A and B are shown apart, each in its own frame.
Chain A
């Protein structure tokens, strides 16, 4: 019973920080921007085509703004926000010196690391939900809602479309696990929160760039962003699980590898800050 105490404090502390709230506000702003842009565009001339996936569908159905917003934020905004929170998780506490007081409390190193990991995962979920909900609200305000035409051509009811949107948000949140574990590991390496955040965000961008170079096909299946956009397969009928399962497997692998590395490092390092 007492074990949850630290976790509750950790989550409350993280979500009370201005920085966390600003990150969430930025994430909430992206769907609004996309929605307003599409609305202005469709006012001038119908159709258009091109742009990110689902963009064309928004004008016909506001629910498509949820899919679009997640597709737009997943490559950059979401992993950057997660990188900031995860990178700062331990390094930031080391920088301000509060880490030593948590450890002599004694929080326990493994227990503290677990609380940090769960908090970062909670942030992944919160960030994704903020994008999805903001998109849903914007979509409902600016566009009509109704039956959803899937990528495979069949139609489903709005209610089922909503369920699929929820499933997509869940998959997107889980897609961020790799970044979360990577950021937490980087966070155990340094006593500077800023350095850890910058390194994590840098790694996210590097992985994205490498994933875009055709000559590097051999290593691409092992890059954490490689299967990210496979969540679109949830909009097929029947649902196409191959890419999604590969994505989740890869995220689990990253979480296991970098989670263990973070544990090995954090439980043995000297706390000199």
Chain B
């Protein structure tokens, strides 16, 4: 759906904003595009949409080269780039009519109907007649999304689509993204909200300082990045942390840490031809047999955030 080879953009006299990017977005995926501010996500999206000419490398969208095939490709792509931009002196509906009129592939006879449907879909039908300058940020964001949904699209490129929305709005947009994906639309979603990516995306890529750090299915990503032990940590809450550490160590757990009454450790990796790793239920029984009093017991799945911090080593600060 999207494929780039060595995609590079250097602005006048600076270090590359995007550096040798090889991105592969499979058809039908919900692809999360992650990275701190300033890591080159928006520059990449602008190159994919033909707004910026790459300094080097190639980009193909829907199988055709960009920016060369803008006319053939973009009518099949809906995009929300770096937040919504609207004509404040036009109503929400007239904003959509204007963007639709700009698309030579859009049929003017069905315009009113398509505009109405897009407004319905993002929950703006009631405010469609209001001037856009009176919209809240969340409403502007919805109108931007509606513009991306004026036609049935094969690909949706959404740059921070839940920015400025309240939690309820975020849930609605995520539900909408899932719904669109279920209809077969490929969604390319950039976000700095890791749990958002984790909730809705099937695939993800991580950018840092203009370079691609990793990409692949979300499930595999955390495991691959965190490596052995990436399957999860065991957490035990107990008034006897020292005894708990001793018992768990005997059962092969590594990286054991006691923090107050909370003990965590990594479950050992199952070797391909060795003994099976200990069952958490067995571990619990062993703790109790050894006289360790257990208040709470469970495993924690590693989050994408763990993977992200491991990858970029910088958390979410602006890249310098």
On A, residues with C-beta under 8 Å from B are 2-3, 5-6, 8-9, 13, 16-18, 96-98, 100-108, 111-112, 268, 270-272
Contacts and interface: CB of A to CB of B under 8 A. Distances in A.
Interface in B98-136: 98-108
Given A5-B108, A268-B53, A102 B87 contact: no
Given A104-B49, A111-B104, A97 B82 contact: yes
B102 A6 contact: yes
Nearest to B72: A106
Given A96-B88, A100-B46, 6 more contacts: A2-B106, A6-B102, A96-B85, A97-B83, A101-B79, A105-B103
B77, B85, B97, B99: residue with the most chain A Cβ atoms closer than 10 Å: B85
8 contacts: A6-B104, A96-B87, A98-B85, A105-B74, A106-B103, A108-B71, A272-B46, A272-B51
B75 interface: yes
Given A98-B87, A271-B46, A272-B46, A104 B74 contact: yes
Interface string B84-95: 111111100000
B194 to A, nearest CB: 27
A104 B52 contact: no
B70 interface: yes
Contact of B99 (A3, A102, A108, A270): A102
Main secondary structure of the interface of A (DSSP, over half): helix
B258 interface: no
A6 B147 contact: no
Given A5-B104, A271-B46, A271-B51, A101 B85 contact: yes
A111 B102 CA distance: 9
Interface residues of B, number: 36
A96, A101, A268: residue with the most chain B Cβ atoms closer than 10 Å: A101
A137 to B, nearest CB: 29
Nearest to A9: B101
A8 B77 CA distance: 24
Contacts of B173: none
A103 B104 contact: no
A101 B147 contact: yes
B97, B100, B103: residue with the most chain A Cβ atoms closer than 10 Å: B103
A6 B46 CA distance: 23
Main secondary structure of the interface of B (DSSP, over half): loop
Nearest to B111: A5
A108 B53 CA distance: 15
B104 A112 contact: no
A160 B100 CA distance: 46
Interface string B138-154: 00000010010000000
Contacts of A13: 87, 90, 98
A3 B89 contact: no
Nearest to B70: A106
Contacts of A97: 82-85
Nearest to B100: A105
B286 interface: no
B198 to A, nearest CB: 28
Given A13-B98, A107-B102, A270 B51 contact: yes
A254 B229 CA distance: 71
Contact of B51 (A3, A9, A17, A103): A103
A13 B101 CA distance: 12
A103, A106, A108, A268: residue with the most chain B Cβ atoms closer than 10 Å: A106
B230 interface: no
A108 B74 CA distance: 10
B77 A9 contact: no
B161 to A, nearest CB: 14
Contact of B104 (A18, A108, A268): A108
A102 B90 CA distance: 15
B268 interface: no
A96 B88 CA distance: 9
Nearest to B83: A97
Contact of B101 (A5, A17, A108): A5
Given A268-B53, A270-B52, A272-B46, A107 B103 contact: yes
A242 to B, nearest CB: 44
A102 B50 CA distance: 12
A9 B102 contact: yes
Contacts of A268: 53
Interface string B198-224: 000000000000000000000000000
A97 to B, nearest CB: 3
Contacts of B104: 2-3, 5-6, 106-108, 111
A104 B50 contact: yes
B99 A106 contact: no
Contacts of B225: none
Contacts of B89: 16-18
B170 interface: no
Nearest to A5: B101
A272 B106 CA distance: 26
